[in-house]
Structure 1
Amino acid sequence: MLSIHCRVTVIVVLLSLASPMWAAASDRAERESEKGFKPMCNGKDLTGWDGMPGWWKVTDGVVWAESTPEKPAKTTHYLFWKEAEPADFEMRVSCRISGKANSGVSFRCKRLPNWNLEGYQADLDSANQYTGCFYQDGRGIVAQRGEKVHIHAAGKKTVEVFADAKELLKAIKRDGWNDYRSTAAGPRIGIWINGVLMCEVEDHDKKLSLRRGVIALQIHQGPSMKAEFKNPRIRIDTP
């Protein structure tokens, strides 16, 4: 019979051998999950993007905009991705906000004059009132955090609450980087933060649903705030 000391030694050795295998398996899974994605930013400048001059910058691989007392954002500013207007896709990006920030990632949008838009948005704000919600210009909040919403052709909504909105906030890092994932496949929209589903929408509204459009990053008009975006990447799918 092995002594306690020997048994402990064997366990330690087995764990030390298993750790690299677990790490390798995790790395492989991460690489697999990123298959088909292309970077949306070169990490050095705003090539491939378009926004109001003087507002958006790239520093150390981070795309950012800031409203300050000296230079307040009197209007909401968007930074448009110029490479495509996708219908079905999955987009991933790390976001960080500070100050009394209101921001988000807009998609399937129609571009308007003066760097404005209307369309869908995965919401983000420092008070976490709207973080993880699904918003549409002219329509307001379509799905709250923790909701699965089915919108019928005539506009009637059926809402299923699948999780507590306050509990979902535990997945969100206040003042830190949060990994956003937005998916669009036909009428189905999904928003995840840090790997946790925040809301889902199936939008069949004949008047208001959107199927294709531009993607943009946002900093809202208002008080001092900063919005930062890192490593945006996208996989465009064939409908």
Structure 2
Amino acid sequence: MLKNIFCLLLPLLFVVSCGSAPQTSETEVPWKNLTVGNDLAGWTSLGGDATYKMEDGVVTGTTVSNTPNTFLTTDEMYGDFILELDFQVDPSMNSGVQFRSNSLPTYQNGRVHGYQMEIDPSKRAWSGGIFDEGRRKWLVNLKDNPAGQAAFKQNEWNTYRLEAIGDSIRIWLNGVPTAHLVDDMTAEGFIGLQVHSIHGDKEPGTEIKWRNVKILTENLARYQRVIDLPAVTTLNQLTQDEEKNEFSLLFDGQSTDQWRGAKLTDFPAGGWSVSDKGVLSIAASGGAESAAAGDIVTKKKYGNFELLVDFRLSEGANSGIKYYVDTEMNQGAGSSIGLEYQILDDAVHPDAKLGNHEGSRTLASVYDLIQADPNKPANPIGEWNQARIVSNEGKVQHFLNGTEVLSYDRFSPEFEQLVKESKYVDWDGFGQLKEGHILLQDHGDLVDYRNLKIRAL
């Protein structure tokens, strides 16, 4: 009889013991408290001249007139983490908490940039949204999240929870989910407490306070929460600010309808492929220029424009983004003719040491004409980089990961002289077309592309 009872109970005991892990109580969570005591050791103020002090574990930031946004930032950098903190803000203030943020000499003279967990006590009520400070601006707002908008408590202490794990960013305000973002632009950076700039007739001396700023960096899967919000992704999508500024997608992660072969009427049958992760790739084929699948070009031509392209190089790879391309200019062997934003593994590919102008075949350079700043902020091979090209009324700028690395006037005598000294000397009017196609180059090496966006200027 006892044996039979045990056999009946055994499956139930197994389900109870193995079905789900017990919830960890708050007292057992191994938080590291970043705000302890009465000094700001481990923190550094960046940006403007607003003031900060810490008393009994409470950080108080105070506004100062006519100074930029100010950030009290951790000296330590954080990648994957879970963060919790309390904050109290004056109803007249706007503020935020930076995370995975950076201040680099090469980026807008050290401007703080990166993700921000918004603090917004205004009637708009977007506290808990995600703003990309110094870069793409709004990524997740709360206009379609009334429960999140209602979660903020005016003139009281509020509590944030932020989970930044891999490319997943999730936020709760007072226990209510406010943002769920999938984005991988920055993997690591500091935590920062913002005092927003004030100007004009606004009185200085307004305060915002933070306390119980605590972080987890290990065994994060054990402490993750389920979030009841659909994820917003930036992959091959326009941000709110890009929509406002009339950008359009050249690639939506699936369709190649806006592209054709440079020497074809249709898209190439092979060589170029689209993955289920929304990546457009040119396959390796031996390293020859436009000898396999061939280059692809936009079906539409562009005059004045701003172009954004994410690219990822394989080791030793060579490719390029060309603009003002005339596909009729070269119907023979090799690539179509146009100005080129060089894409290259500078450390491995021999082209980095070639060219008629020193350094002019390195990453982000105007190929064979103008060298990009040697101190350019390139990410390692195998990681994503962002190219940005702005061309307006003859002035052209190349950017790499948000930093301007060169500029030139394509209608200037100086540019004409550079062309005369380059491989393009035999192409009449090279670089001076009023409009042309955008081109992605097949140079026989594996290169990935995504987030291709353009707007007319």
How does the TM-score come out when normalised to structure 1?
Answer: 0.70
Alignment partners' CA distance in 1, 2:148 and 2:171: 12
In terms of mean alpha carbon deviation, does 88-97 or 45-54 score higher?
45-54
Where do residues 212-223 of structure 1 align in structure 2 (5 Å cutoff)? 212-222=188-198, 223=202
Note if 1:211 corresponds to 2:187: yes
Amino acid at match of 1:79: L
Give the structure 1 partner of residue 80 of structure 2: 88
Q: Structure 1: which 4+ aligned runs deviate by more than 3 Å?
A: 112-116
Shift of 1:77: 0.5
Q: How does 1:8-27 map to 2 (within 5 A)?
A: none
Residue 30 of structure 1 aligns with which residue? Answer: 26
User: Which of 163, 168, 180 is the equivalent residue of 1:183?
Assistant: 163
Residue identity in the other structure for 1:215: I
Asked if the contact 2:102/2:112 (under 8 Å) is kept, the reply is yes
Please tell me the residue identity of whatever aligns with 1:182: L
Structure 1 position 170, deviation (Å): 2.5
1:98 paired with 2:90, answer yes
The equivalences for 1:11-90 within 5 A come to 29-32=25-28, 35-51=29-45, 55-67=51-63, 71-72=64-65, 74-82=67-75, 84-90=76-82
1:145 partner amino acid: L
Q: RCO higher in 1 or 2 (8 Å CA, sep ≥ 6)?
A: 1
Amino acid at match of 2:90: S
Alignment match, 1:228:
209
Of 40-49 and 222-231, the range deviating more from structure 2: 222-231
1:142 correspondence with 2:139: yes
Corresponding position: 1:123 with 2:99: no
C-alpha distance after superposition, 1:14-70 (max 9, x if no partner): xxxxxxxxxxxxxx83314xx121011223111111116771111332101112xxx
The one of 158, 173, 177 equivalent to 1:193 is: 173
- Say whether the 8 Å CA contact 1:77–1:219 is kept in structure 2: yes
Aligned residues: 185
Gaps of 5+ in 2: 1-23, 221-457
Instruction: Flag the structure with higher strand content.
Output: 1
Q: 1:57 to 1:73 in 2, by over 3 A?
A: farther
Return the alpha-carbon distance in structure 2 between the equivalents of residues 202 and 187 of structure 1.
Answer: 5
Unaligned runs of 5+ in 1: 1-27, 147-163
CA drift at 1:217:
0.7
- Tell me the distance in 2 between the aligned counterparts of 1:59 and 1:119: 28
Q: Distance in 1 between matches of 2:54 and 2:81?
A: 24
Q: CA deviation at 1:88?
A: 0.3
User: Following TM superposition, by how much is the alpha carbon of 1:238 offset from its aligned partner in structure 2, in angstroms?
Assistant: 6.6
1:10 aligned partner = none
Letter in 2 for 1:175: N
Letter in 2 for 1:39: N
Instruction: Check if 1:108 corresponds to 2:103.
Output: no
CA distance in 2, matches of 1:77, 1:128: 24
CA distance in structure 2 between the partners assigned to 1:96 and 1:166 by the alignment = 21
Query: Residues 193 and 125 (structure 1 numbering): CA distance in 2 closer, same or farther, change over 3 Å?
Result: same
**Per-residue deviation, residues 127-180 of structure 1 (Å, max 9, x unmatched):** 05331111112201101227xxxxxxxxxxxxxxxxx52332222211111101
Q: Is the 8 A contact 1:93 1:181 kept in 2?
A: yes
CA contact (8 A) 2:91 2:154 kept: no
2:153 counterpart residue number: 173
Pairwise CA RMSD:
2.3
What is the one-letter code of the residue matched to 2:154? R
Farther-moved stretch of structure 1 (58-67 vs 180-189)? 58-67
Over the matched positions of the two proteins, sequence identity in percent amounts to 29
Contact kept in structure 2, 1:191 and 1:197, CA below 8 Å? yes
Larger Rg: 2
**Structure 2 CA distance for aligned equivalents of residues 237 and 30 of structure 1:** 16
8 Å CA contact retained: 1:77, 1:218: yes
User: 1:234/1:191 Cα in 2 relative to 1: closer, same or farther (>3 Å)?
Assistant: same
Contact 1:77 1:115 in 2 (8 A): no
Compare the two structures and name the one with the higher helix fraction.
1
Contact 1:104 1:217 in 2 (8 A): yes
